[in-house]
Amino acid sequence: MANYNKSLVSPTLLLKMGAWRAPIFMVDRIVDFNPGQKSSITVIKHVTFNESYIPGHFPDNPVMPGVMVAEIFGQASEYFSLINDYCKLHEHETGIQLKKFDDVVRALREQAGVDRILAERHRIVGFLASQDVKYKHVVVPGDTIEVTSRLAFADVNGFHHYEVEARVGRQVTCTGRIVNFRMERKQAESKGMLIN
């Protein structure tokens, strides 16, 4: 289980790094990140009665919709891709390899690191798809979901395939795969893939 008191970035930077806004901003904190060959990310989402979808799902039996768990998978995996890209860019520009969580934390506390990751966020867009998502247990208000995304492989066409898992405590609530394709924003705009 991850240390929920750790945070890779401040809430302000987390929001700026994300491509989402309320009511579907689904990552409260990045609590672990491992760069390199066996890379992974772990994020948490605190589920509360204040979530906009809870009153209707269901009025007498509040349950987090499975599609929202899948949304956490997608957002965690996109953060994962962005931070991996950032680590490569950081090494290319500074000659310093970021080898562990604390290295990334330190780099992103410097203004140059913040500027670098936000420039990368603006330059690249990601497109996500979920596959083989299996729901095992319900998630209810009061639960904290811990989602881990691990890079399974990247194919020759630029698609990154992630194995994802959601837990509440020690109980696995959902598993699946996320596929993330990333491209330059200008290229996506020229192909009409983005709505302005």
Residues belonging to the active site:
57
**Cα–Cα distance for residue pair 145/123, rounded to 1 Å:** 30
**Cα–Cα distance for residue pair 129/108, rounded to 1 Å:** 28
From the number of C-beta atoms within 10 Å of its C-beta (0-12, 13-18, 19+), residue 8 rates as buried
Alpha helices in the chain, H assignment, sequence order: 11-17, 66-94, 101-109, 111-123, 185-190
Q: Copy the structure tokens of residue 176.
A: 């699946």
Give 115's contacts (C-beta < 8 A, 6+ positions apart): none
In what helix (H) or strand (E) does residue 127 lie, and over which residues does it extend? strand 124-135
**Cα–Cα distance for residue pair 69/171, rounded to 1 Å:** 14
